[in-house]
Amino acid sequence: MRGTREGTVKAQMSAILHKSGVKTRAEFLALFMDEFIDLGVGSAADGTAIPCRDGEHRAQIWD
């Protein structure tokens, strides 16, 4: 797509996984899924938001 060689992509992905403290792409994806789920649904204004780990409420970001 961007003319990047396969070896470059593998090296970059390996570095990202290492820095993230995971061993597989599935574990890496799970990190994002956990954070996405923790965003909560609903609205803090109407009391339907689910609090995140940090105690804050996030408004619904989709319809």
- Considering only 15-19, 30-34, 36-40, which range has the smallest mean pLDDT? 36-40
Averaged pLDDT for residues 16-32: 90
List C-alpha distances in Å: 37 to 12, 33, 61.
27, 6, 12
**How many angstroms separate the CA atoms of 41 and 60, rounded?**
5
Say which residue, 42 or 24, is predicted with more confidence: 24
What is the number of residues in the chain? 63
| The predicted structure's pLDDT at residue 24 | 93
pLDDT at 59 over 60: no
- Report the predicted TM-score, pTM, of the whole model to 2 decimal places: 0.52
List C-alpha distances in Å: 58 to 5, 11, 20, 38.
39, 35, 24, 9
Say which residue, 59 or 23, is predicted with more confidence: 23
